[in-house]
């Protein structure tokens, strides 16, 4: 299980490998979105785990308890917010996240 104990509260955008980010965006665009598939994908990429946990524990999303489990973090944020995290990362790198993947 991934924990959030080492995360800071900075607002730095996620620095994600471009291919990984584009693959995750494709998972979100899939009509058969499955939370387990998204959790598995995010769990394989430490930068995504870190950013997902950090955002889920931000003042905007935090409940009464901190989230330390990636499944709970994905559930709390929802696909739309996760899509925005990855999309913002690509935009910060000068990549259009809405461009067709050819």
Residue 101 has pLDDT above 70, yes or no: no
Instruction: Write down the pLDDT at residue 15.
Output: 56
Instruction: Write down the pLDDT at residue 4.
Output: 37
| Per-residue tokens: 15 | 């620095």
Q: Give the pLDDT confidence of 27-80 residue by residue, as tens digits.
A: 888 878 789 989 998 998 888 888 899 999 999 988 888 999 999 999 999 998
Whether residue 56 lies inside any domain: the answer is: yes
Whether residue 58 lies inside any domain: the answer is: yes
**Full domain range(s) for residue 35:** 18-92
Residue 9 has pLDDT above 90, yes or no: no
Instruction: Write down the pLDDT at residue 53.
Output: 93
| Per-residue tokens: 5 | 């104990």
| Per-residue tokens: 21 | 């980010």
Rg (CA), the chain: 13
Whether residue 1 lies inside any domain: the answer is: no
- Rounded Cα gap, residues 99 and 45, in angstroms: 23
Whether residue 85 lies inside any domain: the answer is: yes
Q: How far is CA 23 from CA 19, 58, 63, 71, in A?
A: 6, 25, 30, 19
């Amino acid at each position: 299980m991934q924990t959030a104990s080492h995360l800071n509260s900075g607002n730095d955008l996620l620095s994600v490998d471009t291919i990984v980010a584009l693959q995750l965006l494709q998972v979100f665009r899939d009509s058969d979105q499955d939370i387990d598939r998204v959790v598995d994908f995010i769990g394989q990429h430490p930068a995504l785990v870190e950013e997902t946990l950090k955002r889920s524990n931000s003042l905007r999303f935090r409940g009464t308890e901190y989230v330390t489990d990636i499944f709970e973090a994905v559930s709390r944020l929802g696909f739309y917010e996760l899509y925005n995290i990855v999309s913002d990362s690509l935009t910060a790198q000068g990549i259009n996240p809405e461009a067709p993947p050819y």
